[in-house]
């Protein structure tokens, strides 16, 4: 009798987040035969063109452009994809800070925003869910809301008394937070690039961190993914309005990255199965249960 396929659900705020946070991990597990589903909470409609070589997007066309980019990124990673259906909150700036736009994702009542994700969890039945920490990874209002709806879905999808119209209850076994740019990773890559005589893209980051230290996160899980950096990079390039192919994400030499930092990092937030820390596999403790 064949064992059940492993299933991983990665919940992100905008299209392109799935390619800059944990992308090589999702590509690895998909290539190994797991079912991997990426959920984008918003359509990224309020995103600007950040790639100086891209050109202009016709007025009103950004939603369709970003949907097409997301489809190409999903193909590059080998993953399934679903939209949660909410509108990008943008990133208002200024002093005083302007209000978020009416009807945006970050202003939705929690139960209304979480309901479609609860339904996806109960339909897809993931063994593992990844999302952002309570700070959103960085304090974008949509990232913080993504954390809130993911936590709500983790808890509520398993409870038959919650969201009774969202399908049969399902209890995922592990919940992780992505720890993309940890201080340790930044310093290690920076020092190695400079040791080899290169120009590190992290010099300004380290200065900023010295003046304003980042909140410490506990890395519990380092997933080896060096063989999937190419898939990650292809997914990044698919988001052509957002990612400059000559920009930040491509300034770390890949040979340096493979040698000194061949992993992606996560923080185990909750587990319904026993596991031993540290881990090198998001499915540690799950594989035996599923098999």
CATH number at residue 92: 3.40.50.10320
Domain presence at residue 121: yes
Q: Is residue 1 part of a domain?
A: no
How many domains in the chain? 2
Phi, psi of 198 (to 5 degrees): -90, 180
Instruction: Indicate if the pLDDT at residue 212 is higher than 80.
Output: no
* 209 pLDDT more than 90: no
Q: Tell me the pairing of strands 174-178 and 35-42.
A: unpaired
What is the tens place of the pLDDT at every residue in 54-112?
989 999 999 999 999 999 999 999 999 999 999 999 988 887 888 999 999 999 999 99
**One domain for residues 164 and 194:** no
Residue 2 domain-assigned?
A: no
| Gap between the Cα atoms of 263 and 251, Å rounded | 17
Determine the pLDDT at residue 1. 40
Residue 122 CA: distances (Å) to CA of 110, 177, 197, 203, 286: 18, 20, 51, 44, 18
Contact 156, 117 (CB under 8 A): no
Query: Where do we find the tokens 């920009």?
Result: 247
Taking residues 216-239, what's their average pLDDT? 96
- Residue of higher predicted confidence among 210 and 62: 62
pLDDT digits over 102-155, tens only? 999 999 999 999 999 999 999 999 999 999 999 998 889 999 999 999 999 999
- Domain shared by 206 and 131, yes or no: no
User: Residue 17, annotated ligand binder?
Assistant: yes
Kindly give the pairing relationship between strand 263-271 and strand 174-178. antiparallel
DSSP-derived 3-state class of residue 278 = coil
DSSP letter at 86 equals: E
Same domain, 109 and 210: no
How far is the C-alpha of 72 from the C-alpha of 84, rounded, in Å? 18
Tokens of 245: 């192919």
Residues 91 and 40 placed together within one structural domain of the fold: yes
Do 159 and 50 lie in one domain? The reply is: yes
The pLDDT score that the predictor gives to residue 2 is 53
- pLDDT above 80 (res 264): yes
Report whether 233 belongs to an annotated binding site.
Answer: no
Q: Could you give phi then psi for residue 89, rounded to 5 degrees?
A: -85, -10
- Per residue in 210-219, is it b (16+ CB within 10 Å) or e — as a string? eeeeeeebeb
Average pLDDT, the chain: 94
For residue 176, what is the DSSP state?
A: E
Please check whether residues 136 and 76 belong to one and the same domain. yes
Say if residue 225 is in the same domain as residue 206: no
State how far the Cα of 109 lies from the Cα of 87, in Å rounded to an integer. 14
Asked whether the beta carbons of 289 and 32 are under 8 A apart, the reply is no
Examine residue 45 and state whether it is found in any structural domain, yes or no.
yes
Give the DSSP H or E segment for 39. Answer: strand 35-42
Last residue of a domain, one of 216, 241, 266: 216
| pTM: predicted TM-score of the whole model, two decimal places | 0.95
One domain for residues 251 and 172: yes
Q: Tell me: cis bond preceding 177? Omega within 30 of 0 counts.
A: no
190 labelled as ligand-binding? no
Residues 109 and 33 in one domain: yes
Closest alpha carbon to 181 in 214, 147, 159, 145? 214
Position 27 confidence tier, pLDDT thresholds 50, 70, 90: very high
Same domain, 156 and 119: yes
Is 239 part of a structural domain of the chain?
Answer: yes
Is 74 in contact with 26 (CB distance < 8 Å)? no
Residue 166 pLDDT greater than 70, yes or no = yes
What is the pLDDT at residue 97?
82
Are 210 and 113 part of one and the same domain? no
Q: In what order do the strands lie in the sheet with 7-12?
A: 80-86, 35-42, 7-12, 128-131, 174-178, 263-271, 221-224
Q: Which of 124-128, 201-205, 266-270 has the lowest mean pLDDT?
A: 201-205
CA distance 111 to 118: 10
What's the domain range around 72?
7-180+217-290
Q: Are residues 255 and 202 in the same domain?
A: no
Q: Where are the beta strands (DSSP E) in the chain?
A: 7-12, 35-42, 80-86, 128-131, 174-178, 221-224, 263-271
């Amino acid at each position: 009798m064949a064992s059940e396929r492993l299933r991983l659900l990665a919940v992100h705020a905008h299209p392109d987040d799935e390619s800059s946070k944990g992308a090589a991990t999702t590509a690895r597990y998909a290539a190994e035969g797991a079912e991997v589903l990426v959920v984008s909470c918003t359509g990224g409609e309020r995103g600007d063109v950040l790639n100086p070589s891209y050109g202009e997007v016709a007025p009103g066309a950004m939603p369709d452009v970003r949907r097409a980019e997301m489809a190409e990124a999903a193909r590059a990673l080998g993953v399934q994809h679903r939209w949660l259906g909410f509108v990008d909150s943008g990133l208002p700036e200024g002093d005083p800070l302007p209000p978020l736009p009416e009807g945006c994702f970050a202003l939705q009542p929690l139960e209304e925003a979480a309901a479609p994700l609860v339904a996806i969890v109960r339909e897809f039945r993931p063994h593992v869910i990844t999302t952002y920490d309570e700070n959103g990874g960085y304090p974008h209002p949509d990232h913080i809301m993504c954390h809130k709806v993911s936590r709500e879905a983790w808890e509520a999808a398993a409870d038959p008394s919650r969201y009774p119209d969202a399908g049969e209850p399902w209890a995922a076994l592990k919940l992780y937070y992505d720890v993309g740019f940890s201080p340790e990773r930044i310093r290690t890559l920076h020092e190695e690039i400079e040791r080899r005589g290169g120009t590190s893209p992290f010099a300004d980051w380290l200065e900023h961190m010295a003046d304003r230290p980042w909140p410490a996160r506990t890395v519990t899980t380092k997933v080896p993914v060096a063989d999937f950096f190419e898939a990650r990079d292809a997914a990044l390039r698919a988001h052509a309005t957002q990612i400059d192919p000559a920009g930040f994400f491509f300034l770390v030499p890949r040979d340096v990255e493979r040698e000194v930092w061949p992993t992606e990092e996560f923080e185990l937030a909750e587990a319904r199965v026993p596991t031993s820390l540290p881990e090198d596999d998001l499915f540690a403790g799950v594989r035996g249960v599923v098999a």
